[in-house]
Amino acid sequence: MYSEKVMDHFMNPRNVGEIENPDGVGEVGNVKCGDIMRMYLKIKDDTIEDVKFKTFGCGSAIASSSMATELIKGKTISQAMEITNKAVAEALDGLPPIKMHCSVLAEQAIKSALLDYSQKNNIQIEGLEDMDFDDDHHHDIIEE
């Protein structure tokens, strides 16, 4: 049911862990739905120097978190802002339709962590103004 890439990122997830004194932390999802992603960022000169995650959730939630961290590591903030849930899912060679919400959660985790960074540093990040991390809707199946 999962692609080999999903299984690889589930069994050998990249960038699992925490960052001490992170520059930004984001958490999305809720226990009621059975998935929570927490993402930590280390940012220097507008570049994501390091990223770590912790995820409670199914195989695709863990794989999506892992892939999302790979996609943004070493990137600038504006490059990271361009990562969509589709990009995460495509990088994993696709997710089953019922699991697409996991990639949505991964995109939101990145943005939530960046929002935290922007608030701590009192800066504006384009695209985050209207961010709504309403996790009650993330389970809606997104048809590709």
Partner 1 sequence: MGKYIYMDNSATTQVKEEVLEEMLPYFREYYGNPSSVYSLASKSKIAVEKARDQVAKAIGADNKEIFFTGGGTESDNWLIKGLAYSNKEKGNHIITCKIEHHAVLHTCEYLEKQGFQVTYLDVDEDGLIDLDELRKAINDKTILISIMFANNEIGTIQPIKEIGALAKENGIYFHTDAVQAIGHIDIDVKDLNIDALSMSAHKFYGPKGVGALYLRRGLRIDPLISGGGQEKRRRGGTENVPGIVGMGKAIELAVDNMEESNKRLILLRDSLIEKIEKKISHIKLNGHRTQRLPGNVNFCFEFIEGESLLLSLDMVGIAASSGSACTSGSLDPSHVLMGIGLTHEIAHGSLRLSLGDFNTEDEIDYVVDNLATIVDRLRQMSPLYEDIKGE
CB atoms within 10 A of CB 93: 12
Give the integer Cα–Cα distance in Å for 25 and 141.
27
Q: How far is CA 51 from CA 42, 54, 82, 85, in A?
A: 6, 11, 16, 18
- Considering the rule CB under 8 A, would residue 97 count as an interface residue with partner 1? no
Is 33 among the catalytic positions?
Answer: yes
Is 102 among the catalytic positions?
Answer: yes
- The alpha carbon of 103 is separated from its chain's Cα centroid by a whole number of angstroms, namely 7
- Considering the rule CB under 8 A, would residue 141 count as an interface residue with partner 1? no
- Considering the rule CB under 8 A, would residue 28 count as an interface residue with partner 1? no
Binding-site string for partner 1 from residue 38 to residue 67, where x marks contact by CB under 8 A and - marks none: x---------------xxxxxx-xx-----
- Considering the rule CB under 8 A, would residue 7 count as an interface residue with partner 1? yes
- From 33, 58, 87, 128, the catalytic residue: 33
3 state SS of 34: coil
- From 102, 104, 113, 125, the catalytic residue: 102
Give the integer Cα–Cα distance in Å for 83 and 43.
17
- Considering the rule CB under 8 A, would residue 16 count as an interface residue with partner 1? yes
- Considering the rule CB under 8 A, would residue 73 count as an interface residue with partner 1? no
- Considering the rule CB under 8 A, would residue 10 count as an interface residue with partner 1? yes
Q: How far is CA 79 from CA 27, 72, 111, 118, 127, in A?
A: 20, 8, 12, 15, 12
Judged by the rule CB under 8 A, the positions of this chain that interact with partner 1 are 2, 7, 10-11, 13, 16, 18, 27, 31-38, 54-59, 61-62, 98, 139
Catalytic residue positions? 33, 102
